[in-house]
Amino acid sequence: MEKGRAGLDQITALVGLQIVTESSIQKANVVVECLRSWSQQAVAEVIEFRGETTIVVPRNLLRAVAERCHADSKLQFNMLTDATCVDRYPIEPRFELNYQLVSIPRRDRVRLQVKLGGLDPVVDSLVPVWPGANWLEREIADLFGIRFNGHPDLRRILLPEDWEGYPLRRDFPVVGYRDVPSTGDLFKKSSLL
């Protein structure tokens, strides 16, 4: 692995860095309030940054919270527009899954976040709640190697099926590895370009 390339040295210096939370005393968000009144455990942390609300949800409650956001008549988050992952390697828990929810009737947006450790990156799939999560989760599984429980079709989507590794992880070098799938011994494993 080539260090300087992926900027790992810089990140290592920043281990233990906390995300800046701007004015957490702001007026409580309606979504946060609604989720808190439903279950105290549902909201682990609320991050307000640049006018966006991120609700950090415990991993085991993700599906339940998502169902609540979808079905609650005060929330009505009927669309999941985006799901993506951030790898904060070498900080643990390294993976942060971000789900962008939109409520078309209420014209509101919120972000649900789940933190996952590197040893056991498994989380419940949200396809039963929003079928549109299907390809978004497949993409995350393909590029980050995160497994989604209950996903109907978790094949690789962008990369070839015999690809090894998960390229969007921070410990995967930006230049890639020399070995090209299905070239056998022609290119040696794990040598850099």
Binding-site ranges for another protein (CB under 8 A): 5-7, 10-11, 14, 17-20, 49-50, 52, 54, 78-82, 84-88, 98, 100, 104, 107, 109, 111, 130-136, 139, 143, 155-161, 167-168, 170, 172, 174
Of the two residues 89 and 187, which places its CB atom closer to another protein in the complex? 89
Instruction: Give me the least distance between CB of 14 and another protein, in Å please.
Output: 6
Smallest distance from the beta carbon of 181 to another protein, in angstroms?
11
Query: Closer to another protein at the Cβ: 71 or 104?
Result: 104
CB 171, min distance to another protein, A: 12
Query: What element of type H or E holds 86?
Result: strand 79-87
**Which DSSP helix (H) or strand (E) runs through 139?**
helix 133-144
> By C-beta, is 54 or 68 nearer to another protein?
54
C-beta of residue 47 within 8 angstroms of C-beta of residue 56: yes
CB 133 within 8 A of CB 82: no
Separation of alpha carbons 75 and 55, rounded Å: 14
Least Cβ distance, residue 1 to another protein (angstroms): 14
Q: Which of 145, 135, 184, 151 is nearest to 167 (CA)?
A: 145
- Least separation, in Å, of the C-beta of 84 and another protein? 4
Specify the residue, 161 or 185, whose C-beta has the smaller distance to another protein.
Answer: 161
How close are the terminal C-alpha atoms of the chain, in Å?
11
Cβ proximity to another protein, 64 vs 168, nearer residue: 168
**CB-based contacts of 184, cutoff 8 Å, min separation 6:** none
